[in-house]
Chain A
Amino acid sequence: MKRHLISAADLTRDDALLILDTAEEMARVADRPIKKLPTLRGRTVVNLFFEDSTRTRISFEAAAKRLSADVINFSAKGSSVSKGESLKDTALTLEAMGADAVVLRHHSSGAPHRLATSDWISASVLNAGDGTHEHPTQALLDAFTMRRHLSGVGRDLEGRHVTIVGDILHSRVARSNVLLLTTLGARVTLVAPPTLLPIGVGQWPCEVSYDLDAVLKTSDAVMMLRVQRERMNAAYFPTEREYARRYGLDGLRMAALPEHAVVMHPGPMNRGMEITAEVADSPRCTAVEQVANGVSTRMAVLYLLLGGSEPALSTPAEVPAADTAGAARPEESK
């Protein structure tokens, strides 16, 4: 694996499977009375958030803390950043404080790439969402969730059909998922009104449809993206109601899915917009499970980027049977 995680494209199939398998091990820690491993003791992880995102920030924070890392949260609001300090100077400051990993959330696409390729900082850089570019750990936790439901632990997603619906144009989640899911062998279809699809999407390794109903029957997973209401004012679609009618997932549409199919949402949900309450609260919706899986997945990523070579669970006593043979018992994960 590379030293940074900037794009889902950085991951080979083997890298991705290693992360997902490691995340399964990490998930077992959550079932223990003491949810903590000593693995990253003495290492410093900085959550550098230039954009508000409580959910992602606390997920990374929980992940780092469960690995015993020292965690520093640095948010742009109320900090030197809001007084005009540049990304470079912030990075130099963190470097001076001895950060081992910087988890960066930034409103500007490419900021993590820039940080990782600059000489500003020597820490590992984890992209926690950059502008409308990528959000690779979200894609990893989504793949982790899908794998548990659709193919089994230890496997890839070969032959599975994943449909991603909504504001593809502005979605970092969609970009990372297209890259990662295709690396893992899945077939991906993007569904959106033409206004919310990027120019050049035809060259992406996926299919594109304007018609949600046409693809539901063959979907093993449907991922509903949050659609920001302010997009309406920029004429991407006429009204919220029209959007919900054409691209929202309601009970009727959910019934058209194959029985085994899951409904996913990266959150936060706009109930009544892209997803009805009936679907959001149904047992087929994995939104809450995705949050839990996010912590395990981020633990795996932090562990592999920062420590790597040592086994995650250090002593055999801690890992009875030391098995990663979960693949044989996928039902366990339900």
Chain B
Amino acid sequence: MTMSDTTLIRGARILGGPAQDVTIDGGTVTAVGGGLEAPRGATVIEAAGHVLLPGLVDLHTHLREPGREDSETVLTGTRAAAAGGYTAVHAMANTFPVADTAGVVEQVWRLGKESGYCDVQPVGAVTVGLEGKQLAELGAMADSAAQVRVFSDDGKCVDDAVIMRRALEYVKAFDGVVAQHAQEPRLTEGAQMNEGAVSGELGLTGWPAVAEESIIARDVLLAAHVGSRVHICHLSTAGSVEIVRWAKSKGWAVTAEVTPHHLLLTDELVRSYDPVYKVNPPLRTEADVLALREALADGTIDCVATDHAPHPHEDKDCEWAAAAMGMVGLETALSVVQHTMVDTGLLDWTGVADRMSARPAAIGRLAGHGRPVAPGEPANLVLLDPAYRGTVNPAGFASRSRNTPYAGRELPGRVVATFLRGRATVMDGKLV
């Protein structure tokens, strides 16, 4: 893999603005303007009509390695990320073994370095074994080579109020943030789908909105009380939006993410009993979807995070209750955001750059990502063709898993090229 390729991108619309030329050299954006000359030996990309954004940053990715390499590895996951326009992903801690020690987070971090497709920033577990009982060595993970700043027991809620309070307090020492998977466990025992009219008809055990909202309410109050940062993972209900909006109005350090699938899909799809729609938190109602879009548009929700959750075929090729929860998302996220937010007029491309790159990078304290497209800035970039229309074909995914809810669905937009520190990881829509 050669580094510091020299590139001229001609006529791209930076953040959706007027057409400009951009040169990249030595891993850095060297010039932005009209009529730039191609440097000697430069690759020239004709990008008329294409939009240039800072490389996307995902706060919530399951790379599955170590432990579940049958569903994804750091290499296949970062290839999927690059294909989706990402230059950095946060690798969730629920691996086998759990990423609850400096050793495991350094292993994931090193695998990311070796992959070369995308920066991998490991997330550390909040508690040992994700069991919610005893704090993991958060400081050791923060001080390790992986420089962990985001801590999460994602997949499980830190439901004990005292443990949550202590975690929030403790991470202040290294400017960390606790990313909470908000799910009151007693209210969601055996839960299979959103609790509402559809679950009642289908006879599937409900996952009520209040199970998410009650934890978020508690945690924003705790964060305010101890003066720490809390981040809400995959916020999924209209009520959760209201609580976060209220917390932000108080000036508290609360941030939140929404997944692409919660911006588009509803629990009506569960009527098919096809486990490809089984996900946690579950798909909600149309009213929730609309509230989430609005909240992402007005900034109440800070960012889009994929919750990319690969699963092997057999874990979805079964009856609903036996199936695993989760969907892959890295390779479709930008298209879903274009479809639900840009094409609907809720967000412009500047807004997309903010919600999918700048803000997640800021929450994760990730240097070198989510930066403006300007001379001297690191050349972490994604070039996309918003006019493209295509049908999602899972067979073409770079991810090792195929559990997408969008198979056969027409979605707009396509990643044309992705640059990680100036080197193309994707060119002409194909992984390099």
Contact = CB atoms under 8 A, between A and B. Distances in A.
Contacts of B206: 198-199
Contacts, number: 75
B45 interface: no
Given A113-B273, A130-B203, A131-B203, A108 B198 contact: no
B133 to A, nearest CB: 25
Contact of B203 (A86, A114, A175, A204): A175
A109 B198 contact: no
B53 to A, nearest CB: 40
Interface residues of B, number: 24
Interface in B194-219: 195-206, 208
Interface stretch (B69-77, B301-309, B317-325): B317-325
Contacts of A107: 321
B199 A200 contact: yes
A200 B320 contact: no
B277 to A, nearest CB: 11
Nearest to B203: A133
Contact of A110 (B196, B204, B208, B314): B204
A169 to B, nearest CB: 8
B202 A87 contact: no
Interface residues of A, number: 26
A132 B192 CA distance: 12
Given A199-B196, A199-B206, A111 B319 contact: yes
A253 interface: no
Nearest to A106: B319
A202 B360 CA distance: 41
A133 B270 CA distance: 13
A203 interface: yes
Contacts of A204: 200-201
Contacts of A113: 272-273
Given A133-B203, A199-B200, A109 B322 contact: no
A88 interface: yes
A114 B320 contact: yes
Given A109-B204, A172-B203, A200 B318 contact: no
Nearest to A107: B321
A1 to B, nearest CB: 21
A175 B319 contact: no
A111 B204 CA distance: 11
Contacts of B318: 86-88, 114
Contacts of B198: 200
Contact of A114 (B196, B199, B204, B273): B273
B203 A134 contact: yes
Interface in A155-178: 172, 175
Interface in A178-227: 198-201, 203-204
B324 to A, nearest CB: 13
Interface in B165-221: 192, 195-206, 208
A88 B317 contact: yes
Interface of A: 86-88, 106-111, 113-115, 117, 130-134, 172, 175, 198-201, 203-204
Given A110-B319, A131-B203, A200-B198, 19 more contacts: A108-B321, A108-B322, A110-B320, A111-B319, A111-B320, A113-B272, A113-B273, A114-B273, A114-B320, A117-B272, A117-B274, A131-B321, A133-B203, A175-B203, A199-B195, A199-B200, A199-B208, A200-B196, A200-B199
20 contacts: A86-B318, A86-B322, A108-B320, A109-B203, A109-B204, A109-B273, A109-B320, A110-B204, A111-B319, A111-B321, A113-B273, A114-B273, A114-B274, A114-B320, A115-B319, A117-B273, A131-B203, A131-B204, A132-B205, A199-B200
